[in-house]
């Protein structure tokens, strides 16, 4: 089935229906030739916006800039690349109407919920980092050859880079978001703060080890098949959950496989396979207030939702959030009543893809609708708004991304999930007071660490 591919310009909000079960036409040679020129190698618009508030892509740095000292793969906390940058202005409840067209519904709701304290500190937008050449080469190959298959639950392409640098379908954008170029090994001991509406905190803590197969160096450029990733999560806090471990395996195509998971229970000292792991199952360590598929704002099997693509728009999102992840940041300063300390979170004006999922009739999920805003420069979701099954806005979430020198790509760091009804929130992936931050691309994780036998060994 051939389709005319239409490039969606900035601010275009044309709703695109869900991809059909047939394969979607690939980009033409002429379209793919734009990559690395009018478009960056992963499909972002290389030029500035009309007034220059979003700059042209410079891509002047690959990996660690010359002025930064950093030990790779060691878990060192991120170093601020732009230490002299100051906020250009702040968006507050008093002036929010001036900027409303560049804010999500959830962001606007935060100003209504916390009019006296919530604000968005806007900095100069920076687009100075680029991807490795091999990732750009695979992205271009995918542009010419990759196709959606099985109703968009998989795609035929090549591992390493995103599948669709020049997308026209919602499931292409979703595939890019689920499988961007990111760390192939990621290890972390993370704190999780359940901040009640009165500011009191209940703490969780987890050890988390992820092996992302599709970006492993020995897999880059190989056919997109088999497993996408492995994950191991163990509870350290709260004390009642300590010693519980869960291992999971993720397919690249949910039409041909499902997420498999096993859990070790320290009480019975047994491993059991979980019948369902994902969707709106509660995430451990979050007092049941986060769902498993909210990590990275959306993950896992997308088949319970009908997806629409609303083109691109300009939005203020967290970006280059080095300050947020600094070793000198203390939880007492960061975790304020109602929301995190605005002084520690850098926002920039950036172009984002707007992807909306609406729960299908006959399917169950806590969220009746979810809207994600995906940064065009890295294909990762930065802002998410969640609606209940009555259609009421319920939660607003965002992730602080930064370019990680360990992998020459963007890392999803600390995130915040706000309950707009209660005024409580979850601070997730907190590493500020840990001895180490994210240990990235150290390369010491293997598939045999994610089996039922490995879980039993952890319990010994």
Q: Which residues contact 101 (CB under 8 A, 6 or more apart)?
A: none
> Among 16-25, 182-191, 371-380, 398-407, which is the least confidently predicted range?
16-25
What's the pTM? 0.94
* Among 6-15, 22-31, 388-397, the range of highest mean pLDDT: 388-397
pLDDT at 21: 39
Report the SS3 class of residue 364: coil
Distances (CA, A) of 432 to 70, 232, 305, 327: 17, 22, 35, 5
Over range 281-287, report the average pLDDT. Answer: 92
Distances (CA, A) of 110 to 8, 35, 76, 330, 357: 29, 37, 32, 23, 22
Distances (CA, A) of 424 to 70, 388, 407: 36, 16, 34
Contact indicator for 53, 349 with CB cutoff of 8 Å: yes
- Average pLDDT score over the chain: 94
pLDDT at 429: 98
Question: Is 4 a residue whose pLDDT tops 90?
Answer: no
Q: Which residues contact 123 (CB under 8 A, 6 or more apart)?
A: 82, 85, 86, 87, 88, 320, 346, 347, 348
Return the beta strands (E) in 213-304 as ranges. 227-237, 245-251, 260-265, 270-273
What confidence category does residue 68 fall into, taking pLDDT thresholds of 50, 70 and 90? Answer: very high
The closest of 285, 268, 289, 278 to 231, measured between CA atoms, is 278
The closest of 205, 131, 106, 158 to 418, measured between CA atoms, is 106
Pull the structure tokens for residue 101.
């067209």
pLDDT at 25: 57
For residue range 295-353, what is the model confidence (pLDDT) as tens digits? 999 999 999 999 999 999 999 999 999 999 999 999 999 999 999 999 999 999 999 99
Pull the structure tokens for residue 331.
């939880």
Burial of 392 (0-12, 13-18, 19+ CB in 10 A): exposed
Pull the structure tokens for residue 324.
């947020």
For residue range 381-397, what is the model confidence (pLDDT) as tens digits? 999 999 999 999 999 99
Q: Could you report how far apart the first and last alpha carbons of the chain are, in Å?
A: 55
Q: Which residues contact 133 (CB under 8 A, 6 or more apart)?
A: none
What confidence category does residue 459 fall into, taking pLDDT thresholds of 50, 70 and 90? Answer: confident
Question: Is 366 a residue whose pLDDT tops 50?
Answer: yes
CA–CA separation, 145 and 346 (whole Å): 37
CA–CA separation, 233 and 207 (whole Å): 6
Over range 32-44, report the average pLDDT. Answer: 98
Over range 373-380, report the average pLDDT. Answer: 98
What confidence category does residue 203 fall into, taking pLDDT thresholds of 50, 70 and 90? Answer: very high
Over range 24-36, report the average pLDDT. Answer: 89
What confidence category does residue 158 fall into, taking pLDDT thresholds of 50, 70 and 90? Answer: very high
pLDDT at 6: 39
Report the SS3 class of residue 318: strand
CA–CA separation, 50 and 40 (whole Å): 18
Domain spanning 29-458 has what CATH number? 2.50.20.10
CA–CA separation, 349 and 101 (whole Å): 12
What confidence category does residue 19 fall into, taking pLDDT thresholds of 50, 70 and 90? Answer: very low
Over range 26-50, report the average pLDDT. Answer: 97
Contact indicator for 430, 240 with CB cutoff of 8 Å: no
Question: Is 14 a residue whose pLDDT tops 80?
Answer: no
């Amino acid at each position: 089935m051939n389709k005319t591919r239409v490039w969606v310009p900035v601010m275009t909000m044309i709703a695109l229906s869900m991809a059909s079960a047939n394969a979607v036409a690939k980009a033409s040679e002429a379209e793919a030739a734009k990559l690395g020129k009018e478009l960056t190698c992963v499909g972002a618009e290389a030029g500035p916006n009309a007034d220059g508030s979003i700059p042209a892509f410079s891509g002047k740095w690959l990996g660690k800039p010359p002025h930064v000292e950093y030990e790779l793969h060691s878990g060192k906390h991120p170093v601020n690349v732009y230490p002299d940058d100051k906020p250009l202005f702040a968006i507050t409840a008093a002036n929010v109407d001036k900027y409303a067209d560049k804010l999500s519904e959830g962001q606007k709701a935060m100003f209504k919920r916390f009019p006296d304290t919530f604000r968005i500190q806007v900095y100069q937008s920076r687009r100075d980092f680029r991807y490795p050449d091999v990732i750009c080469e695979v992205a271009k190959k995918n542009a010419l050859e990759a196709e959606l298959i099985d109703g968009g639950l998989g795609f035929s392409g090549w591992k390493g880079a995103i599948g669709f640098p020049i997308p026209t379908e919602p499931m292409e954008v979703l595939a890019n978001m689920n499988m961007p170029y990111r760390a192939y090994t990621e290890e972390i001991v993370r704190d999780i703060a359940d901040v009640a509406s009165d500011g009191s905190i209940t703490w969780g803590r987890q050890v988390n080890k992820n092996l992302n197969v599709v970006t492993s160096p020995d897999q880059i450029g190989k056919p997109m098949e088999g497993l996408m990733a492995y994950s191991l999560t163990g509870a350290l806090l709260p004390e009642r959950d300590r010693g519980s471990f869960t291992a999971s395996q993720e397919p690249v195509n949910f039409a041909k496989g499902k997420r498999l998971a096993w859990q070790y229970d320290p009480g019975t000292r047994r491993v059991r396979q979980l019948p369902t792991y994902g969707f709106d199952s509660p995430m451990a360590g979050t007092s049941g207030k986060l769902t498993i598929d909210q990590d990275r704002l959306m993950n896992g099997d997308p088949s319970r939702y009908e997806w629409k693509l609303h083109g691109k728009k300009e939005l203020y999102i967290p970006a280059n959030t080095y300050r947020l992840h600094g070793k000198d940041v203390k939880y007492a300063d960061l975790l304020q009543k109602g929301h995190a300390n605005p002084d520690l979170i850098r926002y920039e004006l950036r172009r984002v893809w707007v992807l909306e999922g609406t729960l299908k009739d006959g399917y169950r999920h806590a969220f009746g609708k979810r809207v994600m805003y995906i940064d065009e420069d890295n294909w990762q979701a930065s802002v998410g708004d969640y609606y209940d099954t009555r259609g009421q806005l319920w939660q607003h979430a965002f992730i602080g991304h930064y370019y990680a020198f360990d992998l020459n790509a963007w890392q999803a760091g600390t995130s915040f999930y706000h309950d707009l009804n209660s005024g409580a929130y979850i601070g997730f992936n907190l590493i500020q007071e840990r001895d180490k931050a994210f240990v990235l691309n150290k390369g010491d994780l293997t598939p045999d660490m994610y089996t039922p036998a490995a879980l039993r060994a952890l319990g010994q």
